[in-house]
Chain A
Amino acid sequence: MLVLAEVTQFESLVGVNPWTALFTFCNMIITFLLLKKFLFKPVKKMIDARQKEIDDMYRDAEASRQEAARLQADYEEHLSSARAERDEILADAVSRARKREQEIIADAKNDAAAIRTKAEADIAQEKKKALNEVKNEISSISISIAQEVVEREITASDHERLVSEFIGKLGEAND
């Protein structure tokens, strides 16, 4: 210790050494430049990049959320309009079906009436025909019978006239 103390010299406690100042200045500048290049710039860049990424992600998420909300609103609107349309179509179909039903029923009634009328006419016709046939049959049978019985007392034509008059009166009384 003593040996060292003899050799070692000290600067005054309070004093400015220009060399020290110069070295300090240089060291400060070097520290500043190196720290800026190797520490502050890259770290700040990284922080900013991450911040930007996070911001972008949030913005994207917000955009997607809004898009989703918009889509949902659209969808709901479509759905409700589809529902309305469906109701309309249904109501239309029901009313048309009712109308058609009425038409079909009316047609059926008309047809039935027509068929009945025709059938009645046919029946009347057939009846008339049958009556005529029966008349003819009866008259011819009566003539032959009368011929058998009377043996030419009156002519065949007189006889037939008489019988048909009789049957005509008979038919009128029947109606």
Chain B
Amino acid sequence: MEVNGPKIYLRINGMNVITQTTVASFVVMVLLCTAGYFLGRNLKKRPGRMQVLTEKGVAMLYNLVEDTMGKHNAYWTPYIGALFLSSIGGSLIGMTGILRSATSDVSTTITWALMTSFLVWGCTIKNSGLKNFLKGYINPLNIVSDIAQPVSMAFRHFGNIMGGGVLMSILYTGLAGLSSLVVGAVRSNGWVVTGVTALAGAALLFLGFKKRKMMFKIFGAVFAGIAAAAALELLGVFGEIPILEVGIPAVLSLYFDIFSGGIQALVFSLLTMVYVGMACPPPTSQK
């Protein structure tokens, strides 16, 4: 097993113009815009089910932005929403298996983080003037903090998603090894052991359903799966079947892909909101 960066699809003059990340982020953009177009169409005063859900989501985003940045900054919601949705979409797109998560590439996250930084700087200059903005850098630590801020944001997001992906691939590799070991052991002992394993699996499954014990059911399924894989390999239908990769990764994928992706998207958007919100104070304080 090796952990790689995104695949390169197109090289021009030694520059990696189009990579897996580019494609993933493009697909995410197309999906989001299509979904947005269809969800925002034909809005009615008396909404249907889809519209209720859409409105709920949009209202939740608006509430989040208003709570974090204040009512006067509600107009930032479309950007924050786009960022949040792109981030969560970019993380989840990796679950397709064909595309790699756009957010497990530093190029993506650093771009978003730098956009946040530029927005903050722009807002600061707009709200308190260029002079005050430059005055802030009399303390050189502010320069460090302004550099550290996007870098930390970018690497937090990237690291979590990439780490999750790496863990998942390690898990898959490990389970494939374990699976080939176990199934190989069963198969090499011939039909008798395979049959016994299948019987044990069936008995455990039966007991599990009768006594309603989850553990029995799981182990029964595992034994039955191993026996089935060994039988198929004995018959020569397939080569190696990594049967143990079924089931277990799904549970962990729930955490590493979905939960982690959601959390990182939320964290990234929240940090953006907080930084930009601080740069855009309520209008009353300017008087």
Binding site for B on A (CB under 8 A): 8-21, 23-25, 27-28, 30-32, 34-36, 38-44, 46-47, 49-50, 53
Which of chain A's residues have a CB closer than 8 A to the CB of B41?
Answer: 38
Complex formed: what's the CA distance from A46 to B46 in Å?
Answer: 10
Interface 1/0s, chain B 56-68, versus A by CB < 8 A?
Answer: 0011011000000
Q: Say yes or no: is B250 at the interface (Cβ < 8 Å to chain A).
A: no
- Residue from A8, A25, A40 having most chain B Cβ neighbours under 10 A: A40
Complex formed: what's the CA distance from A89 to B174 in Å?
Answer: 107
Report if A25-B111 is in contact (Cβ < 8 Å); known contacts: A15-B106, A19-B17, A32-B82: yes
Chief secondary structure at chain B's binding surface: helix
Report if A10-B22 is in contact (Cβ < 8 Å); known contacts: A31-B86, A38-B41: no
Chain B, interface residues (CB within 8 Å), range = 35 or more
- Residue from B19, B85, B107 having most chain A Cβ neighbours under 10 A: B107
Complex formed: what's the CA distance from A13 to B105 in Å?
Answer: 7
Q: Do A30 and B58 have beta carbons less than 8 Å apart?
A: no
Offer 11 A-B interface pairs, CB within 8 angstroms, sorted by A. Answer: A10-B7, A15-B106, A28-B83, A31-B29, A31-B32, A31-B33, A32-B82, A35-B33, A35-B78, A38-B36, A46-B44
Nearest chain B CB to A162's CB is how many angstroms away?
A: 135
CB closest residue in chain B, given A36: B78
Nearest chain B CB to A6's CB is how many angstroms away?
A: 13
Nearest chain A CB to B50's CB is how many angstroms away?
A: 11
Q: Do B111 and A24 have beta carbons less than 8 Å apart?
A: yes
